[in-house]
Structure 1
Amino acid sequence: MRLILSRKGFDSSAGGCPNPVFPDGSALSLPIPDSQSPIRYEHVKHKGESIGKLVEDLTAGKVSRHDGAHLDPDLVHAAYERSPDWKPILGQHGQAQSHLMKQGVGEGDLFLFFAVFRSVEYLKGGWRFVPGTRPFHGLWGWLQVAEVVPLDGRREPPGWTTYHSHHYGTRGVHNTLYLSGEDASLRSTGSSLAGAGVFRQMLPEHRLTHPAATRLTEWLLPAAFYPSGERPPLSYHHNRERWHRCGDYTCSLRSAARGQEFVLDLDLYPELVPWVVGLLQA
Structure 2
Amino acid sequence: MKLVLSRKGFDQGSGGAPSPIFEDGSLFSIPIPDGRTRQRYGDMRHGLHDIGEVVSHLTKGRYTGRSPAHVDPDLHKERIDRRDGWRPAFGQTGAAQRHLENQGVGTGDIFLFFGWFRDVSRNVDGIWRPTPGGRDIHAFHGWMQIGEVLDLSSGRATDWLHYPWLCDHPHVSRGAEPNNTIYIASETLALPGCIASAVAGGGRMSRLTEATTLTAQRQPKKSVWSLPDWFAPDSGRSLSYHVDHNRWTTTETGVNLKTVGRGQEFVIDIGDDKRALDWVSALITSAI
Aligned to 1:209: 215
| Distance (whole Å) between structure 2 residues aligned to residue 68 and residue 207 of structure 1 | 29
Is the CA contact (8 Å cut-off) linking 1:142 and 1:198 kept in structure 2?
yes
Residue 153 of structure 2 contacts residue 176 of structure 2 at CA under 8 Å; is this kept in 1? Answer: no
Matched, 1:257 2:273: no
Q: CA 1:196–1:273 in 2, change beyond 3 Å: closer, same or farther?
A: same
User: Which runs of 5 or more residues in structure 2 are unaligned?
Assistant: none
Bigger fraction of residues in strand: 1
User: Paired residue for 2:229?
Assistant: 223
Does 2:280 match 1:276? Answer: yes
Determine the structure 2 residue equivalent to 1:181. Answer: 186
Comparing 40-49 and 259-268, the one that deviates more? 40-49
Read off the aligned partner of 1:275 and give its amino acid letter: W
CA distance in 1, matches of 2:54, 2:87: 26
Within a 5 Å distance, the mapping from 1:158-197 to structure 2 comes to 158-169=163-174, 173-187=178-192, 189=194, 191-192=196-197, 193-197=199-203
Deviates more, 1:150-159 or 1:200-209: 150-159
SS in structure 2 of the partner of residue 184 of structure 1: coil
How many Å separate the matches in 1 of 2:45 and 2:104?
A: 34
- Alignment check: 8 A CA contact 1:45 1:80 kept: no
TM-score by length of 1: 0.93
For 1:1-282, what aligned pairs fall within 5 Å after superposition? 1-47=1-47, 50-123=50-123, 124-153=125-154, 156-157=159-160, 158-169=163-174, 173-187=178-192, 189=194, 191-192=196-197, 193-228=199-234, 231-247=236-252, 249-267=253-271, 269-282=273-286
Does the aligned pair in 1 maintain the 2:37–2:68 contact within 8 Å?
Answer: yes
Question: Aligned in 2, Cα 1:94/1:246: closer, same or farther, shift over 3 Å?
Answer: same
- Name the CA shift for 1:63/1:143 in 2 (closer, same or farther; >3 Å): same
Q: CA deviation at 1:179?
A: 0.7
Letter in 1 for 2:189: A
**Total equivalences in the alignment:** 280
Q: Report the CA distance between 1:81 and its aligned residue.
A: 2.0
Check the 8 A contact 2:33/2:69 in 1, yes or no: yes
The 8 Å contact of residues 215 and 225 in structure 2, kept in 1 or not, is answered as yes
Residues of 2 paired with 1:12 and 1:34: CA distance? 15
Could you say if the C-alpha distance between residues 167 and 261 of structure 1 is closer, same or farther in structure 2, counting changes exceeding 3 Å?
same
1:160 Cα deviation (Å)? 1.5
- Taking only the aligned residue pairs, the percentage that are identical comes to 39
Compute the displacement of 1:92 (Å): 0.7
Local SS of the residue matching 1:207:
coil
Rounded to whole Å, the distance in 2 between the matches of 1:225 and 1:105 is 17
Q: For residues 40 and 215 of structure 2, what CA distance do their matches in structure 1 show? A: 31
Q: 1:119-152 CA distances to partner (integer Å, 9 max, x unpaired)?
A: 0012332311102224210111101110111112
> Which one-letter code corresponds to 1:156 in the other structure?
D
Distance 2:82 2:45 in 1: 12
The superposition leaves residues 66-112 of structure 1 with CA deviations (integer Å, 9 ceiling, x where unpaired) of: 11100011111111122122111111111111100111111111011
